[in-house]
Amino acid sequence: MSTSSAASDAAVEAIVAEFRLWLARERGLSAAAMCCYGKQARKFLSWLPDPVDSAVRQLDSTQVTSFMVSYCQDRNISSAKATVTAVRALLRYLHATGQIRVSLAGAVPAVAGWRLASLPRGLDTAVVTALLDSCDRDTIVGRRDHAILMLLARLGLRGAEVADLRLGDVDWRSGEITVRGKGNRLDRLPLPSDVGESMVVYLTAGRPACEARTVFCTARKPYRRLSAAAIRGIMGQACRRAGLERVGAHRFRHTLATEMLRAGASLPEVGQVLRHRSTLATSIYAKVDDNALRVLARPWPIGDRS
């Protein structure tokens, strides 16, 4: 690596570090969210010419739009939208801290994508059972992974929320857990008996004694808390063991929502369990509520065929 390249990398990392601190202070984002924003911001900053500090000061809307168009050209909608969100936040940070003279967030083009264009895809009961049964509960790793998958499947937690679950968040006496959700939101949820039993098995015969205060830790030294990426990896390994195509942990949330609707729960009740901040986030599940949609369907008119 050349000296100039090393200097450029160092400058990029310095901006990303300050950007993440700003996100924590001004937006109250979680560590996982700040990591994602920082990763996307790093791509944009690394695309700028050297020296980066000077390029940032001379940044204009044409450069911003050019990067977004070229970068998102071969990306899927989710990846492109994540980049758009992060780059807009970065540009707001640069303007707020005086590193660019005008706000360029508006120069970031939107990504075409329709919120309700597709159906949320749940998992069949047999698939959920296969994923849970793939964990060898005679091993420490298997007991840990089984408890994690139970939280994902039965409570619809996000991967980052499982990773953030702390020992003090579990109220065994009242049978409740405190979930640390998006935007530092705290919610209390009932702890189903089968989930609690799986967690007890891990905590009493699996979790290592260590300084980490999170429920789930690595199985090998040096013991440390699991990350959201590790939760995704555990889901992927379960799919491989069960002989299934890899699916994300979020599919468990879709599964829980669709099962609740088909059991007669209302959309507001689903939104409460999934801890959605707006009814719009829950509205997509109306498309899989067969019972509610059936009463709206009109019989096809049968005309005179003569």
pLDDT of amino acid 291: 47
Q: Find the range with the poorest average confidence among 103-117, 143-157, 219-233, 283-297.
A: 283-297
pLDDT of amino acid 1: 41
pLDDT of amino acid 298: 53
Of 81, 232, 241, 250, which is the active-site residue? Answer: 250
Report field, pTM of the whole predicted structure over 0.75:
no
Asked about 285 being catalytic, the answer comes back as yes
Q: Is the pLDDT of residue 5 over 60?
A: no
What pLDDT, in 10s, does the model give residues 160-173?
899 999 999 999 99
Decide: 46 and 89 in contact? Cβ < 8 Å.
no
Domain assignment of residue 284, yes or no? no
The phi and psi torsions of 170 (rounded to 5 degrees) equal -100, 115
pLDDT of amino acid 293: 46
Looking at the fold, whether 83 and 138 belong to one and the same domain comes out as no
Looking at the fold, whether 147 and 51 belong to one and the same domain comes out as no
Average pLDDT over the chain reads 83
| Residue that wins the pLDDT comparison between 174 and 74 | 174
Of 43, 81, 182, 241, which is the active-site residue? Answer: 182
Task: Please tell me whether residue 178 adopts helix, strand or coil conformation.
Answer: strand
Q: Is the pLDDT of residue 193 over 80?
A: yes
Looking at the fold, whether 60 and 143 belong to one and the same domain comes out as no
What pLDDT, in 10s, does the model give residues 124-141?
889 999 999 999 999 999
Looking at the fold, whether 135 and 239 belong to one and the same domain comes out as yes
Range of the domain at 38: 3-107
Of 144, 146, 275, 276, which is the active-site residue? Answer: 276
Looking at the fold, whether 79 and 172 belong to one and the same domain comes out as no
Asked about 250 being catalytic, the answer comes back as yes
What does DSSP assign to residue 25?
I
Query: Residue 93 — very low, low, confident or very high, per pLDDT cuts 50/70/90?
Result: very high
**What's the number of domains the chain is made of?**
2
pLDDT of amino acid 81: 84
Domain assignment of residue 297, yes or no? no
CATH number of the domain where residue 10 is located: 1.10.150
What pLDDT, in 10s, does the model give residues 80-92?
888 899 999 999 9
Could you identify the residue written with the tokens 């994902």? Answer: 152
Domain assignment of residue 252, yes or no? no
Domain boundary among 107, 135, 168: 107
Decide: 99 and 57 in contact? Cβ < 8 Å.
yes
Domain assignment of residue 112, yes or no? no
Looking at the fold, whether 84 and 134 belong to one and the same domain comes out as no
Asked about 276 being catalytic, the answer comes back as yes
Looking at the fold, whether 168 and 65 belong to one and the same domain comes out as no
Asked about 253 being catalytic, the answer comes back as yes
Of 20, 253, 254, 275, which is the active-site residue? Answer: 253
Q: Is the pLDDT of residue 4 over 50?
A: no
Answer positive or negative: Cα dihedral of 187, 163, 22, 77. Answer: negative
Looking at the fold, whether 130 and 230 belong to one and the same domain comes out as yes
Domain assignment of residue 253, yes or no? no
pLDDT of amino acid 297: 47
Domain assignment of residue 240, yes or no? yes
Residues 120-147 as b or e (16 or more Cβ within 10 Å = b): bebbeeebbebbbebbebeebbbbbbbb
Domain assignment of residue 251, yes or no? no
What does DSSP assign to residue 243?
T
Q: Find the range with the poorest average confidence among 28-32, 149-153, 270-274, 277-281.
A: 277-281
Residue 150 in tokens: 């139970």
d(Cα 289, Cα 296) in Å, to the nearest integer?
11
Of 88, 158, 225, 254, which is the active-site residue? Answer: 158
Domain boundary among 229, 245, 261: 245
Looking at the fold, whether 49 and 140 belong to one and the same domain comes out as no
Looking at the fold, whether 146 and 66 belong to one and the same domain comes out as no
CATH number of the domain where residue 153 is located: 1.10.443.10
pLDDT of amino acid 207: 94
Mean per-residue pLDDT, 265-284: 72
Domain assignment of residue 85, yes or no? yes
Looking at the fold, whether 209 and 133 belong to one and the same domain comes out as yes
Decide: 188 and 178 in contact? Cβ < 8 Å.
yes
What pLDDT, in 10s, does the model give residues 215-269?
999 999 899 999 988 999 999 999 999 998 888 888 888 888 887 877 777 777 7
Answer positive or negative: Cα dihedral of 151, 283, 123, 266. Answer: positive
Looking at the fold, whether 10 and 80 belong to one and the same domain comes out as yes
